[in-house]
Amino acid sequence: MELNNNESNNFSKNLKLLCSYYKSISDVCRKTNINRQQFNRYLNGNTFPSYSNLKIICDFFGVDQEEIIKPLDEFKKIIKPSNKALEPIKTDDLPEELKSHIISLKNSSKESLKRYCGYYYRYMLSGSFPGNIVKSLINIYEKDGFYYYWHIENLQNKNTSFKKSSYARYNGIVFMIAERIYMIEIESKLKSTISETIMMPSYQHANKNISGITCYSTSDISHQPASSRVLYEYMGEKINIRACLRECSLIATDSPIISNDVKNAIFTPNLSPTGTLLTNQYQVE
Distance CA 242, CA 186 (A): 22
Domain co-membership, 118 together with 79: no
CA distances for 263 relative to 132, 234, 267, 282, angstroms: 11, 16, 6, 11
- Tell me if 114 is assigned to some domain: yes
Q: What is the pLDDT of residues 72-91, one digit of tens each?
A: 988 887 775 444 443 444 54
Domain co-membership, 77 together with 169: no
Q: Which of 66, 67, 12 is nearest to 40 (CA)?
A: 12
Q: Is residue 7 scored above 70 in pLDDT?
A: yes
Domain co-membership, 114 together with 229: yes
- Looking at residue 156, what DSSP letter applies? B
Domain co-membership, 178 together with 231: yes
Partners of 67 in beta bridges: none
Specify the pLDDT at position 226.
Answer: 83
One-letter amino acid for residue 182 of the chain: Y
Taking residues 163-189, what's their average pLDDT? Answer: 82
Burial class of residue 120, CB neighbours in 10 A (0-12, 13-18, 19+): buried
- Residue 94: helix, strand or coil by DSSP? coil
Distance CA 129, CA 114 (A): 34
Specify the pLDDT at position 3.
Answer: 64
Grade residue 190 by pLDDT with cuts at 50, 70 and 90: low
Taking residues 38-43, what's their average pLDDT? Answer: 92
pTM of the prediction? 0.61
Lowest-pLDDT range of 143-147, 161-165, 220-224: 161-165
Distance CA 12, CA 48 (A): 8
Are 137 and 121 in contact, with CB atoms under 8 Å apart? yes
Domain co-membership, 238 together with 129: yes
What is the domain count for the chain? 2
Q: Between these two residues, 224 and 33, which has the higher pLDDT value?
A: 33
Domain limit, last residue, from 83, 116, 136: 83
